[in-house]
Amino acid sequence: MKYRTEKEILQMMLNQAQTSELISVDDQFIQQVLRGEITENQYIIDLSAHAYVLHDFSRQLESVNQSVDVATAVGAQLDKIGNLLNVPRHMGVAAQLEVELNLTLPEDNPIFIPRGTELIIDALQVPDYVTYSTDEDVTIPAGVTTATVLCSSNLMARQRSVAIDSVYGLNGFPQISTFNRDAGTSGRDIENDGEYRQRILLWNVANQRGTRQCFDAYLGDLEGLDDYLLVPRPEGEIGTLTIVCDCIESQLSRIEEGVQEHCMIFTDQPAECVGVSRTPLNVSVSCSVVDNPISYTVAELQQLIESEVKVFIDGGYNRDGSSNRGLRIGESFTQSRLLSHLHNMFPELLSISSSTEDTTVDEYHKFRCGTVTVVI
């Protein structure tokens, strides 16, 4: 269906009026009307007003038609289509962190720590608007000096993961020291329209146990799971499935139980969830800068490029504010992709090269950023 602009509607009305001999004008006159050069003619003013109203109706009709077509619907309208087919959009997932609580000496009375107690974290690890708090009530019994608690961020989106040994304490509990032995997860952004649209198009198999779409629908919505990779028939074993998970290790059993309940056929052998192994990747980059770099010194550009390399590998937010998932489980490092990414992010760079060779990892490993060397 063709949706006409306001000028196209006005021109069609003028042509029809001329054909019906309601007015007698030439083509030059019509073009002057369309350019807004003739405004004193009452008949033309009346047609222009009707053209505006008809164009508004046309836009509304176009919007309605697009909203009921999965190929063109966006935002809330796409959510409505997905909900009708029992394929809800994956919401943003908060980053998580497992923290050990320690007392120097055992207490005579139990210490109750309510859910929502805020962590005290190194200010360099999290921005001012991000806080982490406990996910559940925790009690350290009398005579016991340790406990473990899972904590989540208040931001339901992708963010920088908290590094090892970055938690300093619990707000309101100065007698308790805290420690995180492992880095936290980084959370996930809300599913964008393009990814969501593809899942909706596969709605007929998304709810069939055992299908890839069923696993994606369940695992893609799990809190605390940053990334996953399905490895069917590991080592040639028929009827088995291993799921490599990028999450806190203590959550593997929970994920395994959920997969068995929601995704597996009950006669199948239970899936096994294993944690991903991190492989450090050291990157060296050499750059030349344009004669007049935009607003930054060479030292500042080095820091920005170093940060962008870390985002490319570990995920986070690019320099332009867009979200980046980073390298995924089993995904290889390709030098050309990194250089292309840096060229797109830094107009200040005249040329850029890297001595880091293309590197691969197997399906049980995932790259993490090691040292980054930037030479300008």
* SS3 letters across the chain: CCCCCHHHHHHHHHHHHHHCCCCCCCHHHHHHHHCCCCCCCHHHHHHHHHHHHHHHHHHHHHHHHHHCCCCCCCHHHHHHHHHHCCCCCCCCECCEEEEEEEECCCCCCCEEECCCCEEEECCCCCCCCCCEEECCCEEECCCCCEEEEEEEECCCCCCCCCCCCCEEEECCECCEEEECCCCCCCCECCCCHHHHHHHHHCHHHHCCCCCHHHHHHHHCCCCCEEEEEEEECHHHCCCCEEEEEEECHHHHHHHHHHHHHHCCCCCCCCCEEEECEEEEEEEEEEEEECCCCCCCCHHHHHHHHHHHHHHHHHCEECCCCCEECCCCCCCCECHHHHHHHHHHHCCCEEEEEECCCCECCCCCEEEEEEEEEEEC
71 pLDDT above the threshold of 80: yes
pLDDT value for 1: 62
- 226 and 302 share one domain: no
- 240 and 291 share one domain: no
23 pLDDT above the threshold of 80: no
In a domain, 186, yes or no: no
Q: Could you tell me the pLDDT band of residue 69, with boundaries at 50, 70 and 90?
A: confident
Dig out the tokens for 112 from the structure.
């109750």
pLDDT value for 236: 60
pLDDT value for 127: 86
- 328 and 262 share one domain: no
Q: What is the mean pLDDT of residues 290-305?
A: 80
pTM of this prediction? 0.73
- Per-residue burial over 308-330, b = 16 or more CB atoms within 10 Å of its CB, e = otherwise: bbbbbbbbbbeeeeebbbbbebb
- 295 and 346 share one domain: yes
- 370 and 282 share one domain: yes
- 268 and 293 share one domain: no
- 360 and 292 share one domain: yes
323 pLDDT above the threshold of 90: no
- The average confidence (pLDDT) of the chain is 88
Count the alpha carbons within 13 Å of 87 in the hemisphere toward its beta carbon. 26
- 366 and 296 share one domain: yes
Q: What is the pLDDT of residues 273-283, one digit of tens each?
A: 999 999 999 99
182 pLDDT above the threshold of 70: yes
Dig out the tokens for 25 from the structure.
């004008």
110 pLDDT above the threshold of 80: yes
- 292 and 346 share one domain: yes
In a domain, 363, yes or no: yes
Dig out the tokens for 152 from the structure.
């989540």
Q: Could you tell me the pLDDT band of residue 18, with boundaries at 50, 70 and 90?
A: confident
Q: What is the mean pLDDT of residues 306-319?
A: 91
82 pLDDT above the threshold of 80: yes
In a domain, 15, yes or no: yes
Q: What is the mean pLDDT of residues 53-68?
A: 80
pLDDT value for 223: 85
Q: What is the mean pLDDT of residues 338-355?
A: 91
Q: Could you tell me the pLDDT band of residue 349, with boundaries at 50, 70 and 90?
A: confident
239 pLDDT above the threshold of 80: no
pLDDT value for 46: 79
pLDDT value for 54: 83
pLDDT value for 266: 78
- 256 and 294 share one domain: no
361 in Cβ contact with 332 (< 8 Å): yes
Q: Tell which of 242, 275, 308 closes a domain.
A: 275
In a domain, 91, yes or no: no
pLDDT value for 20: 78
> Which residue is associated with the tokens 């992010």?
345
Q: Rounded to whole angstroms, how far apart are CA atoms 308 and 314? A: 10
Q: Could you tell me the pLDDT band of residue 14, with boundaries at 50, 70 and 90?
A: confident
- 17 and 32 share one domain: yes
Contact residues for 276 (Cβ-Cβ < 8 A; gap 6+): 227, 229, 244, 245, 246, 329, 364, 365, 366
In a domain, 43, yes or no: yes
In a domain, 362, yes or no: yes
Q: What domain range includes position 364?
A: 278-375
In a domain, 36, yes or no: yes
Q: Could you tell me the pLDDT band of residue 29, with boundaries at 50, 70 and 90?
A: confident
294 pLDDT above the threshold of 80: no
pLDDT value for 177: 92
Contact residues for 76 (Cβ-Cβ < 8 A; gap 6+): none
State the helix-helix crossing angle for 212-219 and 193-201, rounded to 10 degrees: 140
Structural domain count of the chain: 4
In a domain, 201, yes or no: no
Q: What is the mean pLDDT of residues 42-60?
A: 80
